Chains A and B, each alone.
Chain A
Amino acid sequence: MREVHVSAIADAVKKLCMDANWSLEPDMLRAFDRALGTERSAAGKQVLTILKQNAEMARTRRIPYCQDTGMVICFVELGQDVHVTGGALYDAINEGVRHGYQEGYLRASIVRSPFDRVNTGDNTPAVIHVDVVPGATLKIMLMAKGGGCENRSKYTMLTPAAGLPGVKDFVVECVKTAGPDACPPLILGVGVGGTFEKAAILSKKALFRELGSPNPDSTLDALERELLARANRLGIGPQGYGGDTTSFGIHILSYPCHITSLPVAVTIECHAHRHKEVTL
């Protein structure tokens, strides 16, 4: 049994929150450069250039890339030979969020109840998913998820007869309805199969794969490429001003499902794709 103290978890989460909001990951910066090489629209190119400047300014001045510093989503892979000591895992994560957002000058965007809508003031609580896995390490994958794009995420339960064509049309439709509200260029996380909630969780988890990397499943990889090409033929473009770069990438995860079901969940993510991970 390896012991990991809660203070190490809180410190790690605090740092991930600040870093994620100040410094876009290299996969995002490469995506801007790739798009600048292919985008035909002058307005689209200008948006991409400004977004690159924005990333640079955020990193050097340690101010958030976007003022919507998001709701924190954590996927934790907890090795079954790890013993968390000194307190509760979930409390430690929220403690990290609290300090990260307050000390990092990040916006508090969470209300304590969807009904009375009183701001919690420190961006807690996070949405936390824990998977128990073999081993003696604790991995935290953290995302600061913006609201504008999240609000355009969608779920549908297709019939098995709707099949692959139905899945494809639904994903492309999601890009269309997201439009400029979700701050394109977009990244799509798609979860296919499982159940209602499983598909939704997969759609979030899919976003953690490095942008531009192939899907390890060759069938899904081909599907991702086809859907990305279709999304980018819609003409929406950066910010919806018209152009070729509507999406930077579409990431798909799938899971076995019931003979009656074909669940499809699509998480819409914007160009402020703030994701970081750490292994303790």
Chain B
Amino acid sequence: MSVSTGADGIKDVVTPLSDADVTSLKAGDRVRISGVIYTARDAAHGRLLPLIEKGEPLPIDVKGQIIYYTGPSPARPGSVIGSVGPTTASRMDKFTPALLALGLKGTIGKGYRGQPVKEALRQHTGVYFGAIGGAGAVLSEFVKSATVVAYEDLGTEAIRRLEVDGFPAIVLYDCHGGDLYQDGQKVYAREDG
């Protein structure tokens, strides 16, 4: 198992993830992610999709992995990375079901996702994590190394391999249909507009 619960109630998640790991995560769980994760956003996904459609190998093996939707700012000399918070995940909705079908286990982003993604999370046992949008400076602290592994010409949108240690996130959508946004917001909604 690469998911265990710490003394503070926060779940420690170590990549790569198995189906059993993903099944144990529930919407609303706070997590600390450690190990290797990959960055990819709009442009990189745009290049991955034709490869998937043609059945060609991808530049990264997504099996058991987590993709973080982010485009970091440039690192200052001597730093590993610049600011590195999540971007809006729904722009990647078009690509996510196909990647989950290939064995991708998790994505990290912000914002609502469409029904096809929710269904694909159930069908392929995947999880959608949220990181705090706009907290890129704080989040950079948890990145221990960053290496471009594909599409260097895309600059900030290249695919990077990040080694993270205790990267803080929360389970937004789990593989059982759980949705933190729905659960959280209905507690505080006082009027429908």
B75 at the interface (CB under 8 A from A): yes
Residues of B within 8 A of A64 (CB): 73, 82-83, 136-137
Residues of A within 8 A of B188 (CB): 40-41, 235-237, 242-244
Check A180–B70 contact: CB distance below 8 A: no
Check A148–B75 contact: CB distance below 8 A: no
Check B88–A148 contact: CB distance below 8 A: yes
The CA-CA distance from A173 to B192 in the complex, in Å, is 10
Residues of B within 8 A of A241 (CB): 130, 170, 180-181, 184
Check B137–A107 contact: CB distance below 8 A: no
Chain A, interface size category, equals: 35 or more
Residues of B within 8 A of A236 (CB): 185, 188
Using a Cβ cutoff of 8 Å, how many contacts connect chains A and B?
Answer: 165
Please tell me the number of chain B residues within 8 Å of chain A, measured between CB atoms: 45
Residues of B within 8 A of A68 (CB): 71, 85, 87, 136
Q: Name the segment of A53-61, A215-223, A258-266 touching the other chain.
A: A53-61
> Binary interface profile of B, 161-180, with partner A (CB < 8 Å = 1, else 0)?
00000000010000000001
Check A66–B110 contact: CB distance below 8 A: no
B72 at the interface (CB under 8 A from A): yes
The 9 A-B residue pairs with the shortest CB-CB distance in the complex, in nearest-first order: A242-B184, A235-B189, A235-B188, A181-B111, A183-B133, A67-B83, A67-B136, A107-B73, A233-B190
Q: Which B residues have a C-beta under 8 Å from some C-beta of A? A: 43, 70-76, 79, 82-85, 87-88, 90, 110-112, 130, 132-138, 140-141, 154-156, 170, 180-181, 183-191, 193
